[in-house]
Structure 1
Amino acid sequence: MAELTTIARPYAKAAFDFAVEKQAVDSWAEMLGFAALVSENETMRPLLAGSMASSALAKLFIDVCGEQLNEHGQNLIKVMAENGRLEVLPAVAQLFAEYRLEWAKEVEADVVSATELSDAQQQQIGVSLEKRLARKVKLNCSVDAGLIAGVIIKAGDLVIDGSVSGKLARLSDKLQS
């Protein structure tokens, strides 16, 4: 099982990263789940282990899946067939599901700004953090006029200091060293 997981991990991670980027995690989970069921089918399993040409196998697999796979899902199947890895689809789906559960967790980010942030600014910060952290983000916004301008964002171990006071402090440290 560990070997299958090792083989499946890059496919699952690539699919998950793509799904997050395209904001289609749920549809990808459904596609991979269905493809995994197809690959486990008693009629399909011998074909996956056989010596059928990869392009023919990919076409057959995609035809069997029909409308359940979108264009990008079909591309994943083609790549996996080309590499002789369709038999690890259940492990790919399982890993994807694990990534999805981890991603679904929400992380809180403290955003301290010099002035009140508009809704659009808060949304832009939230979207950027979600992309960077690959998680849903809940913003806790506050104002600290001592920052002069800019923002400080803290989310878990991540700290982004884009404040003028932070830049001045770093400049002061450089000048003193």
Structure 2
Amino acid sequence: MSELTTVARPYARAAFEFAVDNNNIEAWSEMLLFTAEVVKNPTMVKILTSDKTAQELAKIFINVCENQLDENGQNFIKTMAENGRLSVLPRVAQLFADLEDEYKKQIDVIIVSAYALSKKQKDELSQSLEKRLARKVNLNCSIDKTLIAGMVITAGDLVIDSTAKGQLARLSNALQS
């Protein structure tokens, strides 16, 4: 995964910087998300792993995308095809989205709790996390009954585990040390 990120990061940054310079972030985000889905298509996977030239791959890919790509998007695809990197488009799209969130000072936070959270609890969590992370927070809540009690909050690299299961695991580790 880290190798894939290493390969995809320069393309994501270049696309993002170009999008910012041209005030076109939304359009680029949509183009990259669409191309990421095209790459995942089983037929396209076979084509990408065939012995076609970079120009042939770029032409096929652009034809499949039809009106979803503007001229700059098509040039981006041609460059990626020439470098044999079309298969990393899903990771490029993800990294682009991360750069967009950072640029907009927002972050997606995943909350997995033992029980459904009330609107008041969500609002309080959102306010608290916005203060701690200094960003606008987009909550994605889900329920996992196996947690027994508490919740796991994931925001980028930050993980806060206040579940009974997590606390028991930490206690067990502390006792074994």
Normalising TM by the smaller chain, what interval? 0.5 to 0.7
State the partner residue of 1:40. 40
TM-superposed deviation, 1:49 = 1.8
State the partner residue of 1:51. 51
TM-superposed deviation, 1:105 = 1.5
- What percentage of residue pairs aligned between the two structures are identical? 57
State the partner residue of 1:13. 13
Partner secondary structure for residue 9 of structure 1: helix
Partner secondary structure for residue 43 of structure 1: helix
Partner secondary structure for residue 84 of structure 1: coil
* Amino acid corresponding to residue 4 of structure 1 in structure 2: L
Asked whether the 8 Å contact 1:49–1:87 carries over to 2, the reply is no
CA distance in 1, matches of 2:18, 2:60: 24
Structure 1 runs of 4+ off > 4 angstroms? none
TM-superposed deviation, 1:44 = 0.1
Tell whether 2:74 aligns with 1:66. Answer: no
Gaps of 5+ in 2: 107-177
TM-superposed deviation, 1:23 = 0.3
Report how many aligned residue pairs link the two structures: 106
Tell whether 2:86 aligns with 1:77. Answer: no
- TM-score in terms of structure 2 length: 0.59
Asked whether the 8 Å contact 1:16–1:96 carries over to 2, the reply is yes
* Amino acid corresponding to residue 71 of structure 1 in structure 2: E
1:83-111, Cα deviation, whole Å (9 max, x unpaired) = 000000000000000000000118xxxxx
Within a 5 Å distance, the mapping from 1:14-163 to structure 2 comes to 14-105=14-105
Asked whether the 8 Å contact 1:19–1:28 carries over to 2, the reply is yes
* Amino acid corresponding to residue 46 of structure 1 in structure 2: K
CA distance in 2, matches of 1:46, 1:97: 27
* Amino acid corresponding to residue 82 of structure 1 in structure 2: E
* Amino acid corresponding to residue 6 of structure 1 in structure 2: T
Gaps of 5+ in 1: 107-177
CA distance in 1, matches of 2:18, 2:25: 9
1:97-126, Cα deviation, whole Å (9 max, x unpaired) = 0000000118xxxxxxxxxxxxxxxxxxxx
